Amino acid sequence: MFRRYQNGRVFPKIEDGENNMKSKLTKIEKNWVIYDVGNSAFTLLVSTIMPLYFNSLATADGISHVDYLAYWGYAVSISTLIVAILGPILGTVTDNKGFKKPIFMWSVILGALLCALMGVITKWMLFLIIFVTARSCYQASLIFYDSMLVDVTTDERSDYVSSQGYAWGYIGSCIPFILSLVLILLGPNAGIPTSVCMGIAFAITAVWWVVFTLPLLKTYKQVHYVENSTASIGSTFARLGHTLKNAMHHKKIFLFLLAFFFYIDGVYTIIDMATAYGSALGLDSTGLLLALLVTQFVAFPSAIAFGKFSGKYESSKLITICIIGYFCIAIFAFFLQYQWQFWVLAVSVGLFQGGIQSLSRSYFTKIIPADQSGEYFGLMDICGKGAAFLGTIVVSKGSQLTGSVNAGVGSIAIFFVIGLILFRMAVKTKADDFSKAEAEGELI
């Protein structure tokens, strides 16, 4: 099954004529993409219905709109910090032979169970505690999922496959979201209490997530791994420390991680805080949900387009365009006041969201050693989660200090500027030849 070699890497066998952007996805590539359809339902729930539900719980307990936004931001930040700390450790563990699939599976199962549980919670503080834990499990699953990319496809197809994952994730997640939205909007008219509708919506998302994880669990095989049957805590930290030193030694990887830290900050912050931001501005909640649904429909063809563009243009140029696009979005958000402006914001985010996430993921797979993908994606996750932690803290604290949610959200524009500068520096830096380094014993 695994018979193709390239730059010291072994890949799933791909028949002649399949290794190009126009080829159909192989079975393992397709199953990897399908997981994005499942987990994206949770992402959409977190960015739309969940903060509105929390707002209703907080409002019922006398929490102001400014504090509501701040508490939600703090909860997102805490879950982000947890995964930023544990992510690289777990990523290092999953690089050991036979570890990646079971740890990935349990992170999904626990996250889905907690997602369903949130639908029956009526106290805002307890809701936030469970939310932090569920989101931490979800984010951890993504570390393992992203690191699987080196096992399921080739370097040439990684941009294409990664983009397909995000694209189908956007459109697929709309199905449980629409079902939930119809239930929440029409359920009370049919005599079903809103709280019950919310509980069913959370359960739908949890089941959807698990069901679309099953194909990947059935077919995935860990091709690249570190042969270490003991996998002790000491050896895990030793390998992690070695990986950190390697990342700092390899300039291209180091500069990219710094750049990623800054530009993904704004991306994750906008995704996590969009609905909470609009709700804090007093915009109509139904309009917010519909606008963010439009984001998913726009992001679907946009992500596919970026994947196809990567076959004609360098992915580094496409990432640059996305960073500039997000900078403009952040500036626009600073002046947002009306419902129609939120719709413009939602469409604009959809245009660049899939491209910047998928191309960053696939770009990183090309500059790291394949058998340490879990470790390196753990480091990448530190940068992503650390940035998101900083971004939500800036928005939350800025909103409280100034009394203006616009000032807090608009301030993240500076991160895109710094990220763009560092990313262009990384692009101009020569990549390391890890296949040669492996042969000379320079890597673990």
CA distance 229 to 97: 7
- pLDDT at residue 364, rounded to an integer: 86
Classify residue 2: in a domain, yes or no.
no
CATH number (domain holding residue 55): 1.20.1250.20
- pLDDT at residue 3, rounded to an integer: 35
Classify residue 428: in a domain, yes or no.
yes
Report which of 246, 206, 218 is spatially closest to residue 88, judged by C-alpha positions.
Answer: 246
At 437, which helix (H) or strand (E)?
helix 434-439
> What's the number of CA atoms in the CB half-sphere (13 Å) around residue 293?
16
- pLDDT at residue 407, rounded to an integer: 67
Torsion sign across C-alpha atoms 270, 272, 275, 276:
negative
Phi first, then psi, for residue 104 (nearest 5°) are: -60, -45
CA distance 22 to 190: 48
Q: 272 in helix, strand or coil?
A: helix
Per-residue pLDDT of the chain (444 residues; tens, 9 = 90+): 333 333 344 444 444 444 444 568 899 999 999 999 999 899 888 877 888 888 888 888 888 776 777 788 788 878 877 887 777 777 777 777 878 899 999 999 999 999 999 999 988 999 999 999 999 999 889 888 988 888 888 878 888 888 888 889 888 888 998 999 899 889 988 899 888 999 999 999 999 999 999 999 999 988 877 665 454 455 555 555 665 666 666 788 888 988 998 898 888 777 666 666 676 667 777 777 788 788 888 888 888 898 888 888 888 999 999 999 999 988 887 787 778 888 888 888 889 987 898 888 888 888 877 666 666 776 777 676 655 567 777 777 766 676 666 666 667 788 899 999 999 999 888 766 555 444 444 444
CA distance 443 to 41: 38
Tokens of 102: 């079971």
Classify residue 296: in a domain, yes or no.
yes
- pLDDT at residue 438, rounded to an integer: 45
CB atoms within 10 A of CB 435: 15
Triad 255, 75, 275: Cα angle to 5°: 90
Q: For the chain, how many structural domains are there in total?
A: 1
CA distance 425 to 119: 46
Q: 17 in helix, strand or coil?
A: coil
Classify residue 337: in a domain, yes or no.
yes
Classify residue 1: in a domain, yes or no.
no
Instruction: Give the burial string for 363-384 (b: 16+ CB within 10 Å, else e).
Output: bbbebbbbbbbbbbbbbbbbbb
Classify residue 226: in a domain, yes or no.
no
Which domain does 431 fall in, by range?
25-221+232-439
The 10s digit of each residue's pLDDT in 212-252 is 999 999 999 888 776 654 544 555 555 556 656 666 667 88
- pLDDT at residue 444, rounded to an integer: 41
- pLDDT at residue 443, rounded to an integer: 44
pTM (2 decimals)? 0.69
Classify residue 426: in a domain, yes or no.
yes
Report which of 249, 250, 259 is spatially closest to residue 425, judged by C-alpha positions.
Answer: 259
CA distance 110 to 209: 11
- pLDDT at residue 228, rounded to an integer: 58
- pLDDT at residue 254, rounded to an integer: 84
What are the helix (H) ranges across 281-372? 285-309, 315-334, 339-367
Classify residue 350: in a domain, yes or no.
yes
